[in-house]
Amino acid sequence: MATYENPDDVVRLLEEDHQLVKSRLEALAAAPADGRAELFWKLTNDLVRHEVAEEVVVYPAVRDVPGGDAIADARISEQSEAEEKLAQMEKMDPASPEFAQEVAALKSAVLEHATAEEETAFAMLLGALAPDRRIELGQRYTKAKDAAPTHPHPHAPDTPPGNVVMGPLAALVDRVRDAAAAV
């Protein structure tokens, strides 16, 4: 992880999210069967919000850099696959052996995606964008993450304008769903 002068630098925020997700994946993979449900919910919440905010803020900026379209498309495709897996896993019994197998597959896919993203998209942002632009993107990324859905919506659009329109609606539905589940 690099050192950044400003805590709002988008690449710094993205790297912090990657570290959090990696630690959540480690904890979930090591958890006993009866401890997986809450850890899975936390992982899903963090991962979905991160991915949606990237799709709304980060990948449009990557696309503005020469060669960025191919990188954005590849990383968004990987994120879509992870969202599909999360949606499938939400329907499973977290205490089951099958769920544990899916956790291992998810962990592998997410870690591969994170590495690819750091080596391609993050490197591109660091090389092509001035620090003040990365700070502005970081502030937008934080706001987008705060407003993002908390559950996977694998059939929702992942590129503008569809994701910009559907994201807030999905987030509202998720928050109502989470509140009802807490009752």
Split at pLDDT 50, 70, 90, the class of 155 is low
DSSP alpha helix (H) spans, the chain: 10-30, 36-53, 59-63, 68-90, 97-117, 123-128, 131-147, 162-182
Q: What is the pLDDT of residue 183?
A: 39
Q: Does 40 have pLDDT greater than 90?
A: yes
Cα distance between residue 143 and residue 13, in whole Å: 12
Determine the average pLDDT of the residues in 106-115.
Answer: 97
Q: Does 179 have pLDDT greater than 60?
A: no
User: Could you report the per-residue pLDDT of 50-105, keeping only the tens digit for each?
Assistant: 998 999 999 999 999 999 999 999 999 999 999 999 999 999 999 999 999 999 99
Q: What is the pLDDT of residue 150?
A: 75
Determine the average pLDDT of the residues in 140-149.
Answer: 89
User: Could you report the per-residue pLDDT of 115-143, keeping only the tens digit for each?
Assistant: 999 999 999 999 999 999 999 999 999 99
Q: What is the pLDDT of residue 11?
A: 98
Work out the number of other CB atoms within 10 angstroms of the CB of residue 132: 10
What's the half-sphere exposure (Cβ side, CA atoms, 13 Å) at 51?
30
Rounded mean pLDDT of the chain? 86
* Cβ contact 92:36 at 8 Å: no
